[in-house]
């Protein structure tokens, strides 16, 4: 049987995880990377980078590293973004992925053919593949909300923000309550002449350390102590309040959702700076009038610079919408990976979980490897997956647990996702050959 040739679009953490897994089972693959380096968004500079000077991991080292390729011992619990980039580069070198990669090559078009896919590149070349794994990530097109009126000051999206030096001496408004918004508001507190932080609702805040541990690790260690999930989360909320991380104690609005219904905000400094008056919390924007920003509580502020930490939209311009409508149908992907109408197209990295990337990348990479092996064999398990993936609503990944907002559009329950992926991977993997009797 001829080994399939598989294209992996994108050499960020998800793409590296897929390539690593395919290499481990001996499948032939090629990574197509638009930039000159591995690392995707973690590149410290260049066209793919979303990094700013103060970025550190939100998930801890232990929960982010690939378990079979640990981060260096000297790395802190929350490594700096440059350390994460170095780590991903080392992972790629360890797996010898350079020899399988087309760098500085952007996919401009994907054509479905009778025996796979024809990919066109920006240098005019083309190549055929039996299957394609798309891994260019959720951070595609920056999103900026629209409000009545016109703002006449400077504005930039978080994707273009690089350091707190951009704030020096300016009256700054950071818009967005996610992890990036809180990080950037903390930066503004230290250099701006005025720092405001606008959010649409109240949030649950988590410290990055509690009881001497990175918070994610503490959460995992606490969970087995409670038979009831409600009791566990009540304990978590009590612990965070006692540690000083209840936003209501700083004059912020009460959350309109439960702590388990949202992607966690881990930040040990935002409430500190609000409590000291160095960041002023504001509600949503009402409208603009020149440099005057009017808020929904009727307050007004004169602002020099707005930073929109308001998220991203998926961007797959090389994939025709008539082939797969990625602007509309991502919610229909089985396991957030498999489209119903194509058995040779896989999407990896288009979900959010309260977890680091390493073990997720290992797990999803092994699933992709098992799926493509089973496809090559046309195994009974592969045929079963083709049937059930046309009914994604039958698979409960816990999406309904989360708030129905743009920020949570790709959220899944971590443990339900792990159980489903590992279950199917085990059934798709080829059975080992029976040992010959002596």
Compute the residue count for the chain: 438
DSSP helix/strand/coil, 239: helix
- For the residues 397-422, what does the mean pLDDT come to? 68
3-state helix, strand, coil in the chain (%, to 5): 35, 20, 45
- Can you give the pLDDT at residue 399? 57
Please state, as a whole number, how many other Cβ atoms lie within 10 Å of the Cβ of residue 411.
22
Residues contacting residue 93 through CB under 8 Å, at least 6 positions apart: none
> What are the structural domain ranges in the chain?
5-141+312-428, 145-308
Q: Quick one: pLDDT band at residue 432, thresholds 50, 70, 90? A: low
Tell whether the model's pLDDT for residue 434 goes beyond 70.
no
Among residues 432, 424, 305, 324, which one has the least CA distance to residue 370?
424
* Gap between the Cα atoms of 112 and 323, Å rounded: 8
The residue written with tokens 């500079």 in the block is 45
Measuring CA to CA, how many Å separate 300 from each of 126, 155, 201, 250, 363? 55, 17, 18, 21, 49
* Gap between the Cα atoms of 4 and 28, Å rounded: 6
Among residues 418, 355, 334, 361, which one has the least CA distance to residue 12?
361
Tell whether the model's pLDDT for residue 424 goes beyond 50.
yes
Among residues 262, 265, 266, 359, which one has the least CA distance to residue 63?
359
Averaged pLDDT score across all residues of the chain? 91
Tell whether the model's pLDDT for residue 435 goes beyond 50.
no
Q: Do 125 and 16 contact (CB within 8 A), yes or no?
A: no
Tell whether the model's pLDDT for residue 326 goes beyond 70.
yes
Summarised one tens digit per residue, pLDDT across range 174-233 is 999 999 999 999 999 999 999 999 999 999 999 999 999 999 999 999 999 999 999 999
How many helices (H) and strands (E) would you count in the chain?
10, 22
Among residues 2, 178, 170, 183, which one has the least CA distance to residue 81?
183
In the structure encoding, which two tokens stand for residue 20, read together? Answer: 């690593």
Among residues 198, 177, 155, which one has the least CA distance to residue 294?
198
* Gap between the Cα atoms of 223 and 205, Å rounded: 19
* Gap between the Cα atoms of 435 and 339, Å rounded: 37
Q: Quick one: pLDDT band at residue 356, thresholds 50, 70, 90? A: confident
The residue written with tokens 């032939």 in the block is 28
* Gap between the Cα atoms of 192 and 171, Å rounded: 6
Please state, as a whole number, how many other Cβ atoms lie within 10 Å of the Cβ of residue 403.
17
% of the chain surpassing 90 pLDDT = 79
- Can you give the pLDDT at residue 46? 87
Residues contacting residue 256 through CB under 8 Å, at least 6 positions apart: 201, 202
Summarised one tens digit per residue, pLDDT across range 138-159 is 888 999 999 999 999 999 999 9
Correct CATH for 145-308 of 3.50.50.60, 3.40.640.10, 1.10.3080.10, 3.90.700.10: 3.50.50.60
Tell whether the model's pLDDT for residue 411 goes beyond 70.
no
Per-position b or e across 284-306, b if 16+ CB within 10 A of its CB = ebbebeebebbbeeeeebebbbb
The dihedral over CA atoms of 143, 148, 153, 154, expressed in degrees to the nearest 10, equals 10
Measuring CA to CA, how many Å separate 194 from each of 156, 183, 262, 276, 431? 17, 16, 29, 13, 63
Residues contacting residue 218 through CB under 8 Å, at least 6 positions apart: 210, 211
Give CATH for domain 5-141+312-428.
3.50.50.60
- Can you give the pLDDT at residue 2? 44
- Can you give the pLDDT at residue 407? 59
Q: Quick one: pLDDT band at residue 413, thresholds 50, 70, 90? A: confident
Tell whether the model's pLDDT for residue 366 goes beyond 50.
yes
Tell whether the model's pLDDT for residue 67 goes beyond 70.
yes
One fold for 5-141+312-428 and 145-308: yes
Q: Could you give phi then psi for residue 134, rounded to 5 degrees?
A: -95, 125
**Crossing angle (nearest 10°) for helices 414-428 and 357-377:** 30
Summarised one tens digit per residue, pLDDT across range 328-345 is 888 788 988 999 999 999
- Can you give the pLDDT at residue 406? 61
């Amino acid at each position: 049987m001829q080994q399939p040739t598989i294209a992996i679009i994108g050499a960020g953490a998800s793409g590296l995880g897929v390539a690593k897994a395919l290499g481990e089972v001996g499948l032939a693959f090629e990574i197509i990377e638009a930039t000159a380096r591995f690392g995707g968004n973690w590149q410290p500079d260049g066209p793919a980078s979303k990094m700013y000077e103060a970025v550190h991991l939100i998930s801890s080292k232990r929960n982010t590293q690939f378990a079979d390729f640990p981060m260096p011992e000297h790395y802190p619990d929350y490594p700096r973004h440059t350390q994460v980039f170095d780590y991903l580069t080392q992972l790629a070198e360890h797996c010898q992925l350079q020899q399988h990669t087309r760098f500085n090559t952007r996919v401009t078009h994907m054509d479905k053919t009778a025996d796979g896919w024809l990919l066109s590149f920006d240098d005019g070349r083309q190549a055929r593949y039996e299957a394609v794994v798309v891994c260019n990530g959720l951070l595609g097109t920056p999103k900026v909300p629209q409000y009545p009126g016109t703002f006449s000051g400077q504005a930039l999206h978080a994707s273009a923000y690089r350091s707190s030096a951009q704030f020096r001496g300016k009256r700054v408004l950071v818009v967005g309550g996610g992890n990036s918004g809180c990080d950037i508001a903390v930066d503004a507190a230290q250099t701006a002449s005025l720092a405001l932080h606008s959010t649409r609702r109240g949030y649950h805040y988590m410290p990055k350390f509690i009881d001497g541990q990175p918070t994610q690790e503490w959460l995992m260690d606490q969970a087995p102590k409670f038979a009831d999930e409600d009791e566990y989360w009540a304990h978590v909320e009590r612990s965070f309040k006692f540690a000083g991380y209840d936003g209501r104690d700083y004059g912020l609005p009460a959350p309109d959702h439960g702590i388990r219904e949202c992607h966690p905000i881990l930040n040990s400094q935002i409430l500190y700076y609000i409590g000291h008056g160095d960041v002023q919390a504001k509600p949503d924007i009402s409208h603009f009038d020149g440099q005057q920003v009017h808020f929904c509580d009727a307050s007004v502020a004169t602002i020099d610079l707005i930073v929109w930490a308001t998220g991203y939209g998926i961007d797959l311009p090389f994939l025709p919408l008539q082939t797969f409508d990625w602007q509309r149908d991502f919610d229909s992907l089985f396991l957030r990976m498999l489209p119903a109408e194509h058995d040779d197209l896989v999407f990896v990295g288009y979900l959010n979980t309260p977890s680091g990337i390493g073990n997720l990348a290992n797990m999803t990479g092994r699933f992709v490897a098992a799926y493509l092996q089973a496809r090559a064999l046309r195994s009974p398990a592969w045929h079963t997956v083709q049937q059930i993936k046309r009914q994604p609503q039958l698979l409960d990944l816990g999406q309904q647990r989360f708030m129905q907002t743009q920020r949570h559009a790709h959220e899944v329950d971590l443990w339900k996702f792990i159980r489903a992926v590992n279950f199917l991977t085990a059934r798709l993997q080829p059975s080992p050959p029976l040992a010959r009797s002596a």
